[in-house]
């Protein structure tokens, strides 16, 4: 088979982080080459190097045997198309217009709609996709939208297509459909790089597999003879000495219980949470962890089951009721759901505790005083509490979110991705603050996709898959391998 792309000894660092170290990789025409590895293994960086978004620090890239320096423009010009996880589509335009966006076929200065239409229909028929060329893109399912993006690759005769986590949030039928389409595309001689957390997909479609871990290439296989057990062993096995070491805290009585909780795409989840305990929630993106947290906090509806706080059943009709019941919810998206960016630190700190006070009047001077107190206590780097939150760095913004909740009389804390997008230093500080909560007798539910974080912080780990809790691991059972095995759903390992 003809080689399309080859990376030789490529390294790439970002400020202090070695994202790729000495990685060699190649892609041949008419094959599916799967990239496996956990979050932070270096898959995304590799893709970005191939699509020209990042320039490698060391090493070289060859396209059809010729050494190249890739820019996004050149990569596309050579025929390398990257389809990212997030759909970048024009919802209100048709399928045809989406395919030809920016690359319209024109004759004499006017769009040649019939020609574009002909090509669109031809490709969609070839892919056996039941999508009309004039359909509004926004009306398609995410599976169909992915198909259209792949169709674009065919229309413009791309040579390599990179698919980053294409099946996140897909139904089983959509996954089947997409894999069939990929097989069709492969048969036409295009090389495909396929990234997925779902190992069963990998085994259904891959010709070759490369495993990355901590920015290094761990292994490389032909699919024949490869087992899931071997693949998982290669993906895990990080050096535990790099993990944060958490202080042990005495575990007390049960403070929060979920009995057969259902709703918001989550089914039948039960667990107990004790004072002084961190219950980690692991699982792949789309496994229903954040959705479960929304139900527990009352920002999504509880359809079935029971929630008890301090032994008393609660019906959380709203976040307001949850806060009164001493719950706190540090969401994963601090900019959109956690902070009031254009307001001051003081206003942000005061906002959640308003449901707990009965006064009508509020004093801005008092707000600033409280805010200043938290700046000192949480070591927020800001001149004073009158600074607007939009001017702070990610780590300091996250601390403002924490201050907002610490200012309520919270006892049960839900942390959804507590350290996402935060520098190493602030990460440690946030871990210390979490331990501080435990010492006060509070309890923490922590959702995290950061495996070292889950392992080092949790007393127990619940693993979610497809909206259900598929495992609850005790302290001594918490290993990367165990978590991964449960979240992939292959308990035979």
Give the integer Cα–Cα distance in Å for 299 and 329. Answer: 10
- Residues 25/162, Cβ–Cβ less than 8 Å: no
User: Which of residues 341 and 493 has its CB atom nearest to other proteins in the complex?
Assistant: 341
User: Which of residues 369 and 381 has its CB atom nearest to other proteins in the complex?
Assistant: 381
From the CB of 391, what's the least distance to other proteins, in Å? 4
Q: Is 307 in the site for other proteins (CB under 8 A)?
A: no
Q: Is 319 in the site for other proteins (CB under 8 A)?
A: yes
Enumerate the β-bridge partners of residue 256: 273, 309
Q: Is 239 in the site for other proteins (CB under 8 A)?
A: no
Q: Is 350 in the site for other proteins (CB under 8 A)?
A: yes
Among positions 168, 251, 355, 472, the unique one binding other proteins when judged by CB under 8 A:
355
Stretch that binds other proteins, among 86-94, 192-200, 251-259, 346-354 (CB under 8 A): 346-354
From the CB of 339, what's the least distance to other proteins, in Å? 6
Stretch that binds other proteins, among 20-28, 89-97, 253-261, 314-322 (CB under 8 A): 314-322
Give the integer Cα–Cα distance in Å for 414 and 295. Answer: 12
- Using CB under 8 A, which residues numbered 131 to 150 contact other proteins? none
User: Which of residues 98 and 344 has its CB atom nearest to other proteins in the complex?
Assistant: 344
From the CB of 210, what's the least distance to other proteins, in Å? 36
Strand order in the sheet with 208-213: 80-83, 160-164, 191-195, 32-36, 208-213, 216-222
User: Which of residues 96 and 307 has its CB atom nearest to other proteins in the complex?
Assistant: 307
Strand order in the sheet with 58-63: 17-28, 3-14, 58-63, 66-68
DSSP string, 372-426: HHHHHHTT--SSSTTSBGGGS-HHHHHHHHHHHHHTTT--EEEEESTTTT--HHH
Give the integer Cα–Cα distance in Å for 286 and 484. Answer: 15
From the CB of 261, what's the least distance to other proteins, in Å? 19
User: Which of residues 114 and 363 has its CB atom nearest to other proteins in the complex?
Assistant: 363
Name the strand (E) or helix (H) holding 217: strand 216-222
Q: Is 425 in the site for other proteins (CB under 8 A)?
A: yes
- Residues 194/182, Cβ–Cβ less than 8 Å: yes
Residues 6+ apart with CB under 8 A from 54: 12, 45, 48
Give the integer Cα–Cα distance in Å for 252 and 437. Answer: 13
Q: Is 331 in the site for other proteins (CB under 8 A)?
A: yes
- Using CB under 8 A, which residues numbered 356 to 415 contact other proteins? 357, 359-364, 379, 381-383, 387-388, 391-393, 396, 404
User: Which of residues 44 and 408 has its CB atom nearest to other proteins in the complex?
Assistant: 408
- CA-angle at 254, arms to 252 and 257, nearest 5°: 155
Among positions 168, 251, 254, 341, the unique one binding other proteins when judged by CB under 8 A:
341
Q: Which residues bind other proteins (CB under 8 A)?
A: 297, 299, 318-320, 322-324, 329, 331, 336-343, 347, 350-352, 354-355, 357, 359-364, 379, 381-383, 387-388, 391-393, 396, 404, 425, 429
């Amino acid at each position: 088979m003809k080689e399309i792309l080859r990376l030789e000894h490529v390294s790439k660092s970002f400020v202090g982080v070695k994202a790729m170290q000495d990685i060699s990789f190649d892609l041949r025409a008419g094959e599916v080459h799967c990239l496996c590895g956990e979050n932070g293994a270096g898959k995304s960086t590799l893709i970005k190097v191939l699509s020209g978004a990042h320039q490698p620090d060391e090493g070289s890239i060859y396209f059809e045997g010729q050494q190249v320096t890739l820019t996004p423009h050149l990569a596309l010009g050579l025929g390398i198309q990257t389809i990212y996880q997030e759909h970048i589509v024009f919802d209100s335009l048709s399928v045809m217009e989406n395919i030809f966006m920016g690359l319209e076929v024109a004759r004499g200065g006017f769009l040649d709609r019939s020609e574009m239409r002909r090509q669109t229909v031809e490709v969609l028929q070839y892919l056996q996709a039941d999508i009309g060329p004039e359909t509004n893109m926004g009306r398609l399912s995410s599976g169909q939208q992915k198909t259209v993006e792949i169709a674009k690759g065919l229309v413009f005769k791309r040579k390599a297509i990179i698919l980053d986590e294409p099946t996140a949030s897909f139904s089983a039928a959509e996954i089947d459909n997409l894999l069939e389409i990929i097989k069709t595309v492969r048969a036409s001689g295009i090389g495909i790089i396929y990234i997925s957390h779902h190992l069963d997909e990998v085994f259904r479609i891959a010709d070759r597999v490369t495993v990355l871990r901590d920015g290094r290439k761990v292994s490389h296989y032909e699919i024949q003879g490869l087992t899931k057990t071997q693949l998982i062993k290669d993906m895990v096995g990080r050096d535990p000495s790099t993990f944060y070491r958490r202080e042990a805290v005495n575990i007390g009585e049960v403070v929060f219980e979920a009995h057969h909780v259902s709703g918001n795409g989550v089914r039948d989840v039960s667990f107990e949470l004790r004072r002084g305990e961190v219950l980690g929630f692991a699982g792949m993106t789309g496994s229903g962890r954040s959705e479960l947290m929304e139900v527990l906090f009352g920002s999504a509806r509880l359809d079935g089951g029971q929630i008890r706080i301090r032994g008393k059943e609660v019906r959380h009709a709203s976040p307001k009721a949850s806060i009164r019941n001493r719950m706190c919810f540090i969401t994963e998206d601090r900019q959109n759901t956690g902070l009031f960016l254009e307001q001051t630190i003081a206003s942000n700190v005061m906002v959640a505790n308003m449901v707990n006070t009965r006064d009508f009047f509020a004093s801005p001077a008092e707000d600033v005083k409280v805010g200043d107190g938290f700046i000192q206590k949480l070591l927020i780097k800001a001149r004073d509490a009158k600074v607007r939150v939009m001017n702070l760095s990610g780590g300091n913004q996250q601390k403002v979110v924490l201050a907002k909740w610490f200012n309520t009389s919270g006892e049960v804390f839900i942390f959804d991705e507590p350290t996402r997008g935060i520098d190493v230093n602030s990460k440690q500080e946030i871990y210390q603050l979490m331990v501080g909560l435990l010492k006060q007798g509070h309890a923490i539910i922590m959702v995290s996709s950061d495996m070292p974080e889950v392992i080092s912080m949790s007393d127990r780990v619940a693993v979610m898959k497809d909206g259900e809790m598929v495992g609850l691991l005790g302290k001594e059972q918490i290993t990367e391998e165990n978590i991964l095995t449960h979240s992939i759903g292959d308990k035979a390992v």
